[in-house]
Every structure is written in structure tokens, then in C-alpha cells.
Chain A
Amino acid sequence: MKKKITLAAALIFGVAAILGACSGGSAATTTAAPAATTEAPAPTETPAPTEAPATAAPAPATTVDLSAPEIKAIIDRGVLKVGCKTDIPKFSLQNTATGEYEGFEDDLAYEIAGVIFGITGAEAKAQKKVEFQGVTAKTRGPLLENGEIDLVIATFTITAERKETYNFSTPYYTDAVGLLVNNDSGINSINDLDGKIVGVAQSSTSKDGFLKYVEEKGLSVSPEFQEFDGYPALAQALASKQIDCFSVDRAILAGYVNEGNHILDDRFAEQDYGVASAKEKTALAALVEEKVTTMLADGTMKAMQDGWGLQ
């Protein structure tokens, strides 16, 4: 056990030295801490945690505390585990040929990994510092809670209820819910949906958004809602006419438009996507928050979105 730790410490030290991204001071913190946290007895002169960030000048987020145990664990592991969608064009799409994840949210994951490992987002991508795991609306919560993944960047809408369960960053993208209907259904606006069946994804906020929008507009539209596990199931149910309308975030909906259906003009329930982390991992959440707000402030977030053709 001890051998393993020393080995890991040596390895990290080596990596840190090669990269040269960290200054001497922060490298010392990285190596000293694992020994201190596991086998405490030896009174090593661990530098005060507050001291380290101040010296780690080259890292982009200077006020971030990299010595918290959960961030240490990620650094020791060598990769940041992120849950992303696999099936949303432009946001996060897994390339079936290469298995790589491509999209705006995946690039954001690389940027955050860059902060943790003290490198740039592009370097993080080149060095494969992010281990992606495909998630759905249903699996992302449990995977985050049981520690299988560190972060969820998967069109995860921020709600007050969810904030009780997870940590959310400042919104990095704002989307609206849309309505996809079959061309031969005769449905031309939200008004035609009265008494029809609207399919929504499990664990999505589309239903609440729909009801709120209808109430605000004073419309008398009350469809029946049915929930499905995953978007392909919804698309299939719409294609076989088991549901009249497929309602989900427009970003996701765009991937399911074909010659037989179209998206209605109605848009409602503007919703914010945030980066989510497990509730107890506050230091990781703070790091993410710092990065996201920085990117929003200096325009890199906007540039990234434009790069992927969003908005």
C-alpha cells in the first residue's frame, strides 16, 4: 500500500516536472499531500493549503484550491471523469467511427480538466485528460452520486429542486423547450395540442415548462403527458404515431428532425444548463464555477458556442 502511494507520488512529481506547468511550490504540495492524507503519522511539513494557489501562477484560475481531497483524487487518477450525452449534435455527439466525443459540452469538459491539471483545454484534449462516459437524463444523477463520474455536463437544466441534490455552476448555455410534430398530424401550433399525447423524456423539465407556458398565455390546452426513457424511444414513438408531439429542449430536438416531421414555432421555458457535481464535492464545484464564470466573462464561452454553430 505504502509502496503504491510512494510510486504514485513519484509519478505525479515526474509528470509535473515534465510539464513544467506548475511552479516548484505547487508541485511540492501535490506530492506531500497524498502521503499526509493516507498515513498521517510522519510529521511532514505540508505547506498551508492557502499558500499553494498563490504560488501556482501559470494556472489560469488562480484562486482555486487544488489541495482539496476530491481534486487530489482526480489529479492522482490522471483523468477527469465527465458524463456527457452521446447523441446530441453540436452539444455532445459520440463519433461512431472513432468513439471520440465531439461537441461544445465536451470542449467545456476539456477546459475544466485543463484547470485541474494546470494545462490549457487544447492540451487536455491532446493528452486525453478527460474520460467521457455516455449518460442519459436518467443515468446522470445516480452516476454522479455514486462517484462514478466527477462532473455532469449533459444539457442538465438547473432547477431549485435539483440544487438540493447537486451542485450547479453558473449557466453556461440557455436553451428553450421545443415541440416536434409529424407533418401529417395537422398540428400547427401549441393550441392544437389539447387532448393530444405529448411525449417527454424522464427526468426532464419539459412538462413543467409546458404547463407554465400554457398558464401564462391563458391557453386552454391540456394534453396528456407520457414519459420515455431516452430520446430514441421518443422519436420512435412519434414516428409510429403513438404520441402526437415530442417535447424536449430544442438543442436535443434538432437532432431528430427529418422529412416527416417539423419543429413548431412555439418556444417556452427558457432553461439554463449548468455543470453539475456531487453535493459534497464543494471544492470541485468552486473550481468549476470559477472556470465557467471566467469563460463567460472573457468571451471564450461565446466563442466556443459560435465555433460549434450554436445560437
Chain B
Amino acid sequence: MLKGLLDAKRWAALLKAIPEYYIPGFVMTLRISLVGLALALALGVVFGILSTSKWKICKVITRIYVEFIQNTPLALQIMCYYSVLPMVFSSQGFRIPKFVLGVIGVGVYHGAYISEVIRTGIEAIPKGQSEAAASQGFSYVGTMRYVIMPQTIKIIMPPLANQALNLVKNTSILAMVAGMDLMYFTDSWGSNRGYFAQAYFTSALLYFIICFPLARLARYLEIRSMRLPVAKQIEIPAGGEGA
């Protein structure tokens, strides 16, 4: 196997395969990751905030969503969207474009996790904070915006970054249903030629290229949010009031 890994001929074959296999796969994975992450964040924020709201019905709905998604495998969910769902609505079946399938698959899945991250982040802020805000005349939205959220961000940044990275890596499950993503093309080329070492090594590198900057960005945001708020310097106009 190691001999195969260092074989120059195999690497040459890989170079030739890059435009046809790796570029479209990489682009597809990147697109699914970005749009999927946006969807997951949107769902996460909405359901995360709903789960801390006063209305019971909202809490119930978020619990059902989170528990159902968290406690079933992603592979099974993708399979459902791919083949079960279309058959439920029509006997002829319809086809969900692979891009949409991917976005919904990882978006809904990680949306549930992110909503939990946000809920725990909000609940971690002592109740006294919102009571103090209320005593100062802040509305609910104002309390959230100026008091709760800035503190929550610090707490949730690391687990949120985890979710984002997992989301990127989980797009590879789409390969199972011919998702035209990076993993699909890796399997396709690798198994066709038998040059698995080259195929998977390159694929790993490409996933790393997406994930590593994301991890760095999350770390940067985490550090930035940890800085203590600095009181704004207010310019007091010379010859101001009174004098």
C-alpha cells in the first residue's frame, strides 16, 4: 500500500483527474456547506430562542424538532429525503436536486444541534441579568439584544464552531445517494482506478482546506468576544453645560 502511495504514475493520474472529478466535487461541497450552514444557523437561532420563550407551545414544538433530529442518524434522514419522502407524495416519485437535498439534509440536522447550543447559552446567563435589564426599562428584544446575547455569544462560540465543522464533514454522507459532492467523486475516481491512497489523501486535503479556515475564524471570533467591553469614550464638548 505504501509503495502504491509513493508511485509517481498514480499521482500523475490524479493530476489529470482533478478538473473532471475534484473541482466539481469541491465546488458542490463548498456550496452545500455554506448554504447549509446559513440554513442551520437560521433554524438554530429561531428554535433556540423559541425554546427559551414563555409560551409552552413553542417549547413543545422545539422539543419535538430537536429530539427527533438529534436521536436519528443523519444517514437515515438523508435516505428519507432521498427516497421515502418523494414516494409519500406521489406514486411516480419526484426528484429533489442533489444540492437542495444536501442543504436540507445537513441544515435541518445541524439546525437542531445549534438550537440546543443557543438554548443552553441563553439559559447559562443568570436570571438576575434580565431582571436587572427589566428594572432599567429594557423591552424583551432590547434585553436580548443588549444584555443577554453579547454574553451568550462568548459561551456558545466554541460549540457553534464544532457544529459548523461537523456540518462540512457531514456533507460527505451525500455520497451515499450520488450527491455529486467531493466524497462522491473521490469514491468514483478512487474505485475506478484502484488508486485509493491518492484519491482519499487528496479528498482529505480538500476537506481540510474548507474546515481549517472555518476553525480559525471561529477561534478568532471567540477570542474577540472574550474581550471585556470597553466603555465608549464620550467626547464632552468644551464649554459644555452649566459653565
Contact = CB atoms under 8 A, between A and B. Distances in A.
A165 B194 contact: yes
Contacts of B82: 240, 242
Contacts, number: 63
Interface in B1-22: 1, 4, 9
The SS class assigned to the B binding surface is helix
B193 A242 contact: no
Contact of B83 (A184, A226, A240): A240
Interface stretch (A68-76, A140-148, A281-289): A140-148
A67 B120 CA distance: 68
B142 interface: no
Given A146-B1, A237-B83, A203 B93 contact: no
Contacts of A165: 193-195
B187 A162 contact: no
Contacts of B177: 228, 233, 237, 242
Interface residues on A, range: 20 to 34
B104 to A, nearest CB: 15
Given A237-B177, A240-B83, A241-B86, A202 B193 contact: no
5 contacts: A137-B191, A142-B1, A164-B9, A197-B95, A229-B175
Given A145-B1, A166-B194, A203-B194, 8 more contacts: A137-B191, A138-B191, A141-B196, A142-B194, A142-B196, A162-B194, A199-B178, A237-B83
Interface of B: 1, 4, 9, 82-84, 86-87, 92-93, 95, 175-178, 184, 187-188, 191-196
The 8 A-B residue pairs with the shortest CB-CB distance, nearest first, are: A203-B191, A241-B93, A240-B83, A226-B178, A141-B194, A165-B194, A138-B191, A202-B191
Interface of A: 137-138, 141-142, 145-146, 161-162, 164-166, 184, 197, 199, 202-203, 226-229, 233, 236-237, 240-242
